[in-house]
């Protein structure tokens, strides 16, 4: 039913109510629901990605700290060899990789293994980390390499100088590298120092 007022037709109240009722009963279409679900899934995936990244970063920092501790304790053990000379078993001449530091008889005196090796929990009978007698279980995911290099002292030239001399090597550089994994990514910590064997005289 239409009512004419001032030449304008208006919809009756009943027709208007019927139209509103039909409109309110339509609800959401399948497309509306699917769009809402997709938006929700995108948000959930973003949240999961953030959580995974945080866990990965935390694990990486823990592994890095462990690697630094291994490298530091190894370096301290190497430095202790220089200051320890029990019955001639240790001392300056022992600071070298296996196959280096020949004595007067041509016998190599270096004690540190070459290449990357598993990190063991026990230093072994010699009480020095990084030697062939290290025992105990291997620390999972970690490997260590010790490189000892004779350095030239130009004022006291030794065999390794550009102009070789007869002086005994008194300077050695030491590099300790520890590798570890964060997920499938391999990382490493490197610690270096220089050791000398000069006696201080008054």
Decide if pLDDT at 3 tops 60.
no
Phi and psi, residue 100, nearest 5°: -125, 175
pLDDT tens sequence across 80-89: 998 876 666 7
How many Cα atoms within 13 Å fall on the side-chain side of residue 88?
2
Q: Answer whether residue 202 shows pLDDT above 60.
A: no
pLDDT on residue 104: 85
The pLDDT of residue 90 = 87
Q: What pLDDT is stored for residue 151 in this prediction?
A: 95
Task: State the pTM of this model.
Answer: 0.70
Residue 54 has pLDDT above 90, yes or no: no
- DSSP for 54-98, please give it: HHHHHHHHHHHHHHHHHHHHHHHHHHHHHH--GGGSSSGGG-SBT
> pLDDT tens for residues 55-107?
766 677 889 999 999 999 999 999 999 887 666 678 899 999 999 998 888 89
């Amino acid at each position: 039913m239409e009512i004419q007022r001032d030449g304008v037709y208006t919809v009756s109240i009943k027709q208007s109510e019927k139209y509103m009722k039909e409109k309110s009963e339509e609800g959401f279409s399948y497309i509306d629901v699917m769009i809402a679900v997709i938006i929700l899934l995108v948000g959930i995936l973003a949240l999961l990605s953030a959580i995974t990244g945080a866990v990965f970063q935390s694990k990486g920092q823990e592994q890095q700290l462990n690697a630094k501790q291994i490298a530091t304790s190894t370096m301290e053990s190497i430095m202790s060899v220089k200051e320890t000379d029990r019955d001639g078993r240790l001392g300056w001449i022992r600071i070298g990789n296996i196959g280096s530091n020949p004595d007067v008889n041509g016998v190599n005196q270096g004690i540190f293994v070459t290449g990357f090796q598993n990190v063991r929990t026990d230093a072994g009978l010699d009480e020095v980390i990084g030697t062939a007698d290290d025992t105990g279980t291997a620390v999972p995911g970690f490997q260590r390499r010790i490189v000892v290099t004779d350095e030239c002292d130009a004022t006291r030239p030794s065999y390794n100088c550009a102009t070789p001399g007869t002086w005994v090597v008194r300077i050695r550089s030491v590099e300790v590298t520890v590798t570890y994994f964060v997920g499938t990514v391999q990382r490493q910590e490197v610690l270096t120092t220089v050791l000398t064997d000069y006696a201080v005289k008054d």
